[in-house]
A and B are shown apart, each in its own frame.
Chain A
Amino acid sequence: NAGVTQTPKFQVLKTGQSMTLQCAQDMNHNSMYWYRQDPGMGLRLIYYSASEGTTDKGEVPNGYNVSRLNKREFSLRLESAAPSQTSVYFCASIPTPGTGMGQPQHFGDGTRLSIL
C-alpha cells in the first residue's frame, strides 16, 4: 500500500522561483495537512483541509497557498520562494474530520526543499 505519497523528494530552488509540492493519499481519507519541520521547531502546521472543498490556515501560512484538488490530492504552492522557506515539508492525512476522539495521522516521506 502506498499510503501518502509526496513528490518531489528533494528540490533546490533559487529565491523568487515558484513551485508546487504534490501530495496524494490512496486511503480514502477526508482530512489532509501540510507541515514544515525545521531543526528545534518541531512540526508546524501550514494549511489543512478538513474535507474536500475546504482549506484553512494553520500556524504558519504566510508565503504559501494550497489546493485540495480532489479527495486524494492536496498540493502546496510557494509563489515566490524565500530562503526562510528552506525546510522539510510533510503531508499527512486522517480518515475523517472532527478529531475530538483522535485519529492517527499518516505521513508521507517528506520533501526536502532548499532555497538559495
Chain B
Amino acid sequence: GQQVMQIPQYQHVQEGEDFTTYCNSSTTLSNIQWYKQRPGGHPVFLIQLVKSGEVKKQKRLTFQFGEAKKNSSLHITATQTTDVGTYFCRFTGGGNKLTFGTGTQLKVEL
C-alpha cells in the first residue's frame, strides 16, 4: 500500500535559522497539500502543489514538488516565533481518502 513518510518528527531551531520538512512517498502522488497547525489549534491550509517540479513561495515559505511527484518539501527561511507549530503534508490516498503525513513539530527559540 501507499506509504508517506514525513521527516523530521521534531525540529528545534534558533530564531533566524532555516527549517525544512520533507514528505516522501512510495508511489506517485496526484497532488500534495501543506497545512500548519498552531499549538492547541486545528490544521490550516497553506498551499497545494500539482505539477511535477512545481515550486511555490509564500513570503519566507518555499514549497517544492519533486520531479517524479513522489516527494515534497516545505522550507522556511529565517524562522520567527510565529512559525511555531506542526506542519503536515496531505495527499489523496485513493479516491476521496485524504491522508496526512505524521507531521513535523517546529519549535523556535529566541
Contacts and interface: CB of A to CB of B under 8 A. Distances in A.
Co-assembled chains A and B: yes
Interface of A: 31, 33, 35, 40-45, 48, 50, 56, 58-59, 90, 92, 94, 97-102, 104-110
B96 A42 contact: no
A44 B93 CA distance: 12
B95 to A, nearest CB: 7
A51 to B, nearest CB: 9
Those 8 A-B pairs whose CB atoms lie nearest each other, nearest first: A104-B45, A42-B102, A107-B42, A43-B100, A102-B31, A50-B96, A42-B103, A102-B48
B90 interface: yes
Given A31-B96, A43-B88, A90-B43, A102 B102 contact: no
**From A44, A48, A58, A105, residue with most partner B Cβ within 10 Å:** A105
Contact of A109 (B33, B42, B92, B96): B42
Given A107-B42, A108-B42, A100 B92 contact: yes
B98 A45 contact: yes
Contacts of A109: 41-42
Nearest to B45: A104
Contacts of A104: 33, 45, 48
Interface of B: 6, 9, 30-31, 33, 35, 41-45, 48, 50, 88, 90, 92-93, 95-103
Contacts of A97: 96
A42 B101 contact: yes
B102 A105 contact: no
A40 B101 CA distance: 11
13 contacts: A42-B102, A44-B100, A50-B95, A56-B97, A92-B43, A98-B95, A98-B96, A100-B30, A100-B31, A101-B31, A102-B33, A104-B33, A106-B45
